[in-house]
Structure 1
Amino acid sequence: MTIEYEWRGDFDNASLDALHADGFGSPAAQTDWRARLERHSLGWVCAWEDGGLIGFVNVVWDGGAHAFVLDTVVARHRRSRGVGAALVTVAAKEARAAKCQWLHVDFEEHLRSFYVDACGFRETPAGLIAL
Structure 2
Amino acid sequence: MYADLRIRFTVDDGELSRLHAEAFGGDPVLIPWTTRLERHSRSWVGAFVGDRLVGFVHAVWDGGRHAFLLDTAVAPDLRRRRIATDMVEALVADLTRQGIEWLHVDYEPHLADFYRDICGFRDTGAGLLRLN
State the TM bucket, normalised to the shorter chain. over 0.9
Give the counterpart letter for 2:81 in structure 1: R
Cα shift readout 1:60-114 (whole Å, capped 9, x = no counterpart): 1111110110000000011011100111101111111110111110001111111
Identical amino acids, percent of aligned pairs:
45
Matched, 1:88 2:88: yes
TM-score, reference length from structure 2: 0.95
- Are 1:45 and 1:57, in contact at CA under 8 Å, matched by a contact in 2? yes
1:1-131 residue pairs with structure 2 within 5 A?
2-131=2-131
- Gaps of at least 5 residues in structure 1 are none
Give the counterpart letter for 1:100 in structure 2: I
Give the counterpart letter for 1:22 in structure 2: E
Distance 1:110 1:2, change over 3 A: closer
How many aligned positions are there? 131
Runs of 4+ in structure 1 off by over 2 angstroms are none
Q: 1:43 deviation in Å?
A: 1.5
- Are 2:2 and 2:83, in contact at CA under 8 Å, matched by a contact in 1? no
Q: State the SS of the aligned residue for 1:87.
A: helix
